[in-house]
Amino acid sequence: MGERFQNTKAELRYQAQWKEMDKKYQLTRMKWFEKNYEKVYLNPSLPKDKVPKKAAILYDEICKMRKERLKEEKGMKGEKKMETPLTLDEYFDRGPMYPVPFKVKDTLYHGISHNDEGRLKYLRLRQELSPEDKYYEPLLWSFGYGWKLGERAYPTIRGHGRVAIIKDNFTRKSGALKIDNPLRRIPFGPKCEVETL
């Protein structure tokens, strides 16, 4: 199974490489066409019969693509301007956590904890959020284990795999045997021996 998984990884890399090369090739052709369109196709010395009709259509498409690209670049510049770095005073004043939403904060002042309202409900609502939704960045080393787990991609697990499933009673993470294992039973008397498997 390991070989097949590695082969599919290699095939995916190979396909991605070809897609990237094809994209670069297309961009190179488009850039050449943009630079040399006027020299080749709008040249008055060439007869109009030799100029392909698709060239004009392609040139119009390139103009549209340029306009879209300029809009995207302007949008990116605007986003970069908005992301100004914080000064040290702002960094320490903001605290480690995001501000609490108003609706959640409002539950704190309505009802009492004895009736599953008020403070208790507020704490439960805050507990439902994942750490990355509550904190700006991981505060402790232990936060790294569960930080942004939703964004990580795991390979899909098949429902009916060919490899046999190793059950929980076979091994433990700690290396200890299961409690009802005969090797862990206490002998009944002083002369009793431990059962052998």
Over range 124-149, report the average pLDDT: 77
Over range 100-111, report the average pLDDT: 88
Over range 85-105, report the average pLDDT: 82
Alpha helices in 41-118 (DSSP H): 53-82, 88-94, 102-107
Residue 169 pLDDT class (50, 70, 90 cuts): very low
**Selected residue with higher pLDDT from 100 and 60:** 100
What does the pLDDT read at residue 141? 72
pLDDT for 121 beyond 70: yes
pLDDT for 59 beyond 60: yes
Dihedral sign, Cα of residue 81, residue 82, residue 85, residue 86: positive
Contacting residues for 14 by C-beta, under 8 A, at least 6 apart = none
